[in-house]
Amino acid sequence: MELREYLSVRRAYNLVRQKTEAEKRLTFEEFAILCRLDMASEPVKTSEIASYQGALRPTMTHRTNHLATLGFIERGEGVNDRRNIECKISEEGREYVRALSQATYAQIPAGQPLARTPKDRLRRYVDAMGSVYCTAGQLILVTILANENERNTVTSLVDNLGFLQPTISMSIASLADKGLVVRAHAEGVGARSHDIKLTDEGRAEALTVADKIAAIVVHRKARS
C-alpha cells in the first residue's frame, strides 16, 4: 500500500470521527475490526483478530467489549473449543460499518489517493490498514516524511491528518521532547509560525513506519 493512500484514508476517517456522536465514536482499529467481520463468511476467533492487529489480549478485549456494548458485534464460545471466543458482526454493525465507509469515502477530496476507488472496496483498505497500528505521533512523522518538499506546520498537519489542533500541538511537543522533530521559526511569516522538521532520528522512525505501511496488502477477494 502506498503511504499517500494510507494517509488519505486516515485523514478522511479522522474527520468523520470528529463529527460522530461520542457514544458511537470508534477508534480506527475498531473500525477495521468491523470491516474484517463484515467481510468474513463465519465468526472469527478473538485470538485471530488480536493476531491480525498485533494487539495484546487486554487491548483486544477492550476493543471487542466496546463493539459488543454498542451492539455492533456478538460474541460466543467456539463450536469446537469453548475456550475460544468467537466474534461475528450484528445487523446493526453491518449497517454502521457501511455508513462509516460511505462517510469516510465522502471525505476524500477529488484528486486525492483513492478518491475514485469503489466505495465497497474502501472496507478492504480499512481492514488491511488495521494490521498496522500508528499513534498520532507516528502519523505526524510519516506525514512530514511524505511532504518533505513542502512546509510542514501545525496548520498544514491539521489539514493533512484531520486531527484537531490540540492533538497535533501536543503530539509535536512530545515528538520534540524525544528528539524526533525540531521546530524552527519560518522565514518571511509571522513569528508564531514554525516549520516542523524531522531530525535524523525522526526520519529513521518515520521510514520504519512507512515500511510497515508499504507492506500492507489489500486483498481483492472476499475471505471464504
**Per-residue pLDDT tens for 14-35?**
999 999 999 999 999 999 999 9
What are the structural domain ranges in the chain?
Answer: 3-129, 136-214
CB count in 10 Å sphere of residue 149: 5
Correct CATH for 136-214 of 1.10.10.10, 3.50.50.60, 1.10.10.410, 1.20.1250.20: 1.10.10.10
Determine the Cα–Cα distance for residues 134 and 145; give it in Å rounded to an integer: 15
Distance of CA 86 to the CA centre of its chain: 24
Asked whether this chain's domains 3-129 and 136-214 adopt the same fold, the reply is yes
* E strand segments, the chain: 44-45, 73-77, 85-89, 181-185, 194-198
Cell matching residue 90? 450484528
Judge whether residue 109 has pLDDT over 50.
Answer: yes
Correct CATH for 3-129 of 3.30.1380.10, 1.10.10.10, 3.10.450.200, 3.90.79.10: 1.10.10.10
Determine the Cα–Cα distance for residues 206 and 180; give it in Å rounded to an integer: 9
Identify the band that residue 224 occupies on the pLDDT scale cut at 50, 70 and 90: very low
